[in-house]
Amino acid sequence: MQTFWYVFLWTMFAAALAGWIYLLLRVFKKPAAGEPGGAPLVQSKFWSLLFGGVILIEIFSVLITPLMDWGLPKNVGSLGGEVDNLFHLILAVTGLTFLLTEGVLVYYMYKYAGEPRRRTPYVHGNHRLELIWTAVPAVILLFLAFTEVSAWERIKYQSRFPEPDQILEVSARQFEWRMRYPQDIKPAAAEEWSRREEADDLHVVNEVHTGKGANVKLYLKTRDVLHSFFLPNLRIKQDALPGKTIPVWFNATQANCQEVDGLWLSGYRYDESSQKWEKDKEYVWELACAELCGWGHYKMQGRLYVHTDKADYEKWLKKASAAPNSHVP
């Protein structure tokens, strides 16, 4: 199915490009005696060809996305697949609308390009047309809203959160993420813990640690301005609002970190064939701030560490608590 669309889109692109080149040649061709053309033709058709050319470059850049690795980052979230499907659906709807409207625009720009001494006719409007271009988007938007509501519910509704295996607190400030981990996992007392620190809590900066397959519930806060907690590989994004504690949950389906000389490093992939952990850049998973929060916004970058299992996560927690400065700089 994907191959079909790929071939179809490339064919359409090639046809559009051929048409564009044909028109370009026609406009710049030296006219024969008695034929319209030359400077006036170049002047009047230039803008439509420029607009058409820019759109062709845009389509081309979308078509080579898979070849250039410009697509979505690796998904390791348990609900990431659903988010990606919705993303592609919305991209298809908006992309098609874009092509359709731009196509019409360029066509009319070419066909009715201004000519000296021709008056522009005055059009008052068309009631039926206006009704159609209001009703069609309304139907499409309603369709999208109903399609995404179940995924939204599972990701955002607290009543639908799974029972957590692990909890943590994320507190954003200009310009870093402060994490707080409890020593023992006690979901029943999680709410209470999110409001009141324990003396033995582990405080870490810019590192989200979790075990593979664990349902993680985190309490998101901010100490100053608006920030946005963004884990692209888990397809998780949530704004942090001053004065509010916002619960977020996720479940990472793959591990990416290994203990190396007493430090846990991310960017490791388990290779099934050699049964060894290999370094892989695709397994460095970023935590970013997705809300322009001040001059140092770009610095609010952390890492996601997914441990192989709960035991490894607890081993890290114990070690990090004993030596709080042992994290990767």
Binding residues for Cu ion, per CB under 5 A?
Answer: 227, 289, 293, 300
Count Cβ neighbours within 10 Å for each residue of 168-187 and write b for 16 or more, e otherwise.
bbbbbbbbbbebbbbeebee
Closest approach of Cu ion to the CB of residue 174, in Å: 7
- Least distance in Å: CB of 317 to Cu ion? 26
174 or 326: whose CB is closer to Cu ion?
A: 174
SS3 129: helix
Distance from C-alpha of 80 to C-alpha of 86, rounded to nearest angstrom: 10
Q: For residue 238, what are its two tokens?
A: 């949530």
Query: How distant is the alpha carbon of residue 255 from its chain centre?
Result: 21
- 139 in the Ramachandran plot: left (φ > 0), alpha (ψ -120 to 50) or beta? alpha
Pick 220 or 293: Cβ nearer Cu ion? 293
User: 251: burial class by Cβ within 10 Å (0-12, 13-18, 19+)?
Assistant: buried
To the nearest whole angstrom, how small is the minimum distance from the Cβ of residue 292 to Cu ion? 8
Closer of 300 and 317 to Cu ion (Cβ): 300
Q: How far is the CB of 288 from Cu ion (least distance, A)?
A: 9
Smallest gap from residue 22 Cβ to Cu ion (A): 50
Comparing CA positions, the residue from 218, 179, 213 lying closest to residue 308 is 213
Closer Cβ to Cu ion, 167 or 293, answer by number = 293
User: Nearer to Cu ion by C-beta: 217 or 227?
Assistant: 227
The nearest distance, CB 179 to Cu ion, in angstroms, is: 15
Sole residue written with tokens 């009715």 = 112
CB-wise, 122 or 295, nearer to Cu ion? 295
